[in-house]
Amino acid sequence: MLTKKMLTVSCACLLTLYAGAQSKSFTHADTLRGSLTPERTWWDIQRYDLAVKPDYANKTISGSNTITYKVVGNSQRMQIDMREPLLIDSVIFNQKETLSFAKEGTVWYINTPKQKKNSTNTVAIYYHGKAHEAVRPPWDGGWTWTTDSLGRPWMTVTCQGLGASIWYPCKDHQSDEPDKGASLTMTVADSLSAIAMGRLESKEANGDGTTSWKWSVVNPISNYCLIPYIGKYVNWGETYKGEKGPLDINYWVLDYNLEKAKAYMPKEVNIMLHAFEHWFGPYPFYEDGYKLVETSNTGMEHQSAVSYGNWYKPGYRGRDGSGTGWGMKWDFIIIHESGHEWFGNNITTNDLADMWVHEGFTNYSETLFIDYLFGVEAANQYNQGIRRGIRNDKTIIPAYYVNAQGSGDMYPKGGNLLHSIRHSMDDDNRFRNILRGLNKDFYHKTVNSTEVERYVSAKAGFNYSKVFDQYLRTTQIPSFEYYFSDDKTKVFYRYSNCVPGFNLPLVLKSSTANVRIMPKEQWQSSTVNSEQASLFTKTAIEAMYYVNVAAVTAAP
């Protein structure tokens, strides 16, 4: 789907950094990859039908991608993204006409004929080549050619960020998802299984020692979620009674892990679905089902086919990122990567620069999961604990239109931003309705960060724009300073080290007292009783809000 806010921007605008982002030189290739060029915006993807045949021994692939699209502008040459060393062999228009093409860096331009506006057409792109190999998956994109513990072939792809164009030809821009779904056909040795997103549409033996497995989704899907999993898999399934009715759940694991997986996975998945449907609303892809697929890397959020490589253990491969112990009571990969079904796969950002919407909300899904199981105090401890991963090295939101990715702080800092907003609202019912509303009102849509920010403010009934600016567009940690009058009947407070207008409300409470204040950059005061005064502690405030707290003796 093409975003309703498609813009054609000049090269000068494309290289303009967002406020607060660090200076960096971008290449022409960055611009072509990250911008909505005229060669991209005249056609709207309706469907991908991708087929691939991997050669495990030689680490090469051959295949095709039939792209069905709708003409929404004045047709001209078509920009297709595909990285070296892959090569296009031929392009066929509407199953009959061979088209010419030319290469410019990582972009291929296809010379298409004149087409009527609103017409629907296809280009079938045939390609082959040495597949780019991932060095450190899933953090590095490309194919993984490895073996399981018995030395048998095991293959997959990871490509978030780097882009799906690392392994197949496509329009590699997050803003345009195929409105009518996609299919992925994999031709592999008869001895192997080939798994992908959605439902198995067909499985056909080719009579030459290979079998073709075709999987399909009916929902829109991001390019980087079309992923093959090839190995010695076995399968079992179950039905989950969810908010929208019966949900098909399937598990695909290596054959020798079957009994271990059966004893471990369903419990984790079922409690995850209970918690996330409570907080976020119905699982967004009932039509395509949900499945976990064992993989050789840690895992990724591939829509309706979440990859799993966490060794059937709690934590993140045996580690707790929060250092609190709460992270060792659940399986990080199942919870985090499944959280992306709501934030990342259901709600997808138009530009990679806004990836905090994917990662910040999903990071916060971990805190909400703990809250659902263990309560708010445990959630506070976990959320504060993950701050040790915040570096404040650069802003979360970088330059737009050049495929730039912001600081990794988008995970823990994004989660702490949302935690701070939640506590400042002091209304979990409203906060939950905001999360569910986002997934309902932006259902299967692509968005910009500003749309999400405005939505939160509108539904909260409070303008959080300066709060978002503080945490997304600067590296400053706000300071909250306070002191009491001599008789402790008045508290004086202010914010410093913050953007002008920073206005995060603070709500402090215990079982017997509560106080709500609205600090600004100027000193303000509130009358308090002794119980309310006791709420003003560094420990209590920093547990709920990502601010540095300092008790001072008096105003300077």
Q: Which two tokens stand for residue 429?
A: 């019912």
Report pLDDT digits (tens) over 12-38: 332 333 333 445 688 988 998 899 999
Angle separating helix axes 449-460 and 412-425, nearest 10 degrees: 20
Residue-range domain boundaries for the chain: 43-315, 347-473, 479-551
Backbone angles phi, psi at 489, to 5 degrees: -100, -5
Q: What is the mean pLDDT of the chain?
A: 94
Q: Which two tokens stand for residue 250?
A: 């399937």
Where the chain has pLDDT below 50, the residues are 3-22
Dist. CA 547–CA 417, nearest whole Å:
10
Dist. CA 546–CA 479, nearest whole Å:
9
Dist. CA 332–CA 268, nearest whole Å:
10
pLDDT of residue 5: 41
3-state helix, strand, coil in the chain (%, to 5): 30, 30, 40
State the CATH architecture for 347-473: Orthogonal Bundle (1.10)
Dist. CA 119–CA 389, nearest whole Å:
50
Structural contact between residues 161 and 153, judged by C-beta atoms closer than 8 angstroms: no
SS3 state of residue 153: strand
Report pLDDT digits (tens) over 470-524: 999 999 999 999 999 999 999 999 999 999 999 999 999 999 999 999 999 999 9
| 43-315 against 347-473: fold identical | no
The total number of residues written for the chain in this structure? 556
Dist. CA 477–CA 474, nearest whole Å:
9
- Is domain 43-315 given the CATH code 2.40.170.20 in the classification? no
Backbone angles phi, psi at 490, to 5 degrees: -135, 140
